[in-house]
Structure 1
Amino acid sequence: MADYRNYGARVPAAGNRADVQIDQGLRSYMLKVYNLMAAGLAITGVAAYGLFMLATSGTPVDGGAQIRPDMWLTPLGVAVFTSPLRWVLMLAPLALVFFLSFRVHKMSLGAAQATFWSYAALVGLSLSTIFLVFTQESIVQVFFITAASFGALSLFGYTTKRDLSGWGSFLVMGLFGVIIAMIVNIFLQSSALGFAVSVIGVLVFAGLTAYDTQRIKEMYFEGDDTLVAGRKAIMGALSLYLNFINMFMFMLQFFGNRE
């Protein structure tokens, strides 16, 4: 006969231990997501500034071109910023992020992580032009403004008891609206529309930061093996990375000082 003595006393203890283990596993999982995202941002920053330094010079150079009274493009800069190669830099990250999104479930953990690093580097190369448009001081200032905002929004998404899943459809609609408006403004060149797009863009990616953080948190499952958990962490880091980069670019339109 089964012995049910002390069963009631043992269950809460076991439940508490399981809760502690799940909580520790969730913290470890989220920490990995944030570390991957931070490493991706670091790679992006190094690639962007590195290409800018190689592509510009403070003195005239053979085969270069003057773009400001105090700045010249090097031959590399001419090739990267004024030739069709610039379209490769713009489109290559888009192609790679689609590749990672659709193929990650078939990749090894090392391949998925290497693809994410490569994507972050390509984004950095494509963003190197911001150093030609905005002062370095304002870029740094906007980065820290974005980091503080992102941190607060992500913390809200992680800690709130409110279900944010209902935000998803509205945020996606807003995102498509921003993309369409940006394409239209390429032809209209309207400063008013550009300002409106920047405002809406900041709001959309602010909402996505909180929404995605909660979604990534809920993706955690204690029973996942190392490979599945690693893939989830990489895709979670990619989502937050994209939110950060886009929020940063829209905020740069507000707070960045142009050269």
Structure 2
Amino acid sequence: MAQSDILRQQTAAGVRTAEIDAGLRAHMNKIYGTMSVGLVVTGLVAWALAGLAVTESPTQYMVRDGMYLTDLGYALYASPLKWVIMFAPLAFVFGLGAGINRLSTGAAQMVFYAFAAVMGASLSSIFLVYTSMSIAQVFFATAIGFAGLSLWGYTTKKDISGWGSFLFMGVIGIFAASLINIFLQSSALMFAVSAIGVLVFAGLTAYDTQRLKNEYLMAVAHPQGQSYLGKAAIMGALSLYINFINMFMMLLSLFGNRE
């Protein structure tokens, strides 16, 4: 083979690699962007509902001295509706996962934002339990930790795909223990679940980031793979969003200052 032909092949390979790298960065930026918008929606809905649910004017629903529930607050946090609000995000996750192939990319994105809003309603009660300063501090600490873990998962050369089954079993264990503790109300069990949960969702953050990166690289290697990338970005945003929210809640349980 002539030297000129070798140089052309090397140049073509270099251009192809640069295109893949640029496409991967754009794909990951879309994932992080969608996730970030979802977090903003969640925060705004949680803050707005908490403001409507609580009043300083005396009502028949007293939370503590100087804090009372409005009728909306009672419906959200004390009536049977609280169970619907608590488990509605889980229904959205399963529904989006099962129906993603039947939805357009735009519709899937709107379902994700609707899920984020429902999650905000489910989390709004934290404003009754923890101080606003504490919530803000734990949120920013979670954001810093999440960013570092996700960056490591993106850049590491180590294959961490083997973590998946172990972490998945950890999530099942945390979910089961949390359900049990709804009825037991054990502070020791809550502490254990929160401590283990931070480690599990920290690991999932790195694992999912590497998984999403590898899924993109596999998709661009197949002619039909790129057609799914729009929906894959939304599902990737959902995975990282869930990791962030759970890590935030676990850290808040451990380090949040209660009212």
Pick the TM interval, shorter chain. Answer: over 0.9
Partner of 1:35: 33
State the TM-score, normalized to the length of structure 1.
0.94
Please state how far the C-alpha of 1:4 moved relative to its aligned partner. Answer: 5.6
Answer yes or no: is 1:189 the counterpart of 2:212.
no
Mean Cα deviation higher: 182-191 or 95-104: 182-191
Distance 2:179 2:75 in 1: 25
Partner of 2:5: 7
Answer yes or no: is 1:90 the counterpart of 2:86.
yes
Partner of 2:257: 257
CA displacement 1:181-239 (0-9 Å, x = unmatched): 22333344332222111111000000000000000111113356775111000000000
Partner of 2:245: 245
* Residue type at the aligned position of 1:230: G
Cα 1:181/1:212, change in 2 over 3 Å: same
* SS at 1:162 equivalent: coil
* SS at 1:192 equivalent: helix
Answer yes or no: is 1:118 the counterpart of 2:109.
no
Alignment map for 1:8-87 (pairs within 5 Å): 8-60=6-58, 65-87=61-83
Partner of 1:202: 198
Mean Cα deviation higher: 120-129 or 92-101: 92-101
Distance 1:134 1:90 in 2: 18
* Residue type at the aligned position of 2:36: A
Distance 1:12 1:187 in 2: 64
Partner of 1:230: 230
Distance 1:188 1:92 in 2: 22
Distance 2:37 2:180 in 1: 34
Distance 1:123 1:27 in 2: 28
Asked if the contact 1:109/1:227 (under 8 Å) is kept, the reply is: no
Size of the aligned set, in residue pairs, is: 255
Distance 2:211 2:70 in 1: 45
* SS at 2:108 equivalent: helix
CA displacement 1:81-135 (0-9 Å, x = unmatched): 2111111211221111111001101111111001000000000001000001111
Cα 1:40/1:224, change in 2 over 3 Å: farther
Distance 2:51 2:199 in 1: 33
Distance 1:69 1:227 in 2: 57
* SS at 1:6 equivalent: helix
List gaps (5 residues or longer) in structure 1. none
State the TM-score, normalized to the length of structure 2.
0.94
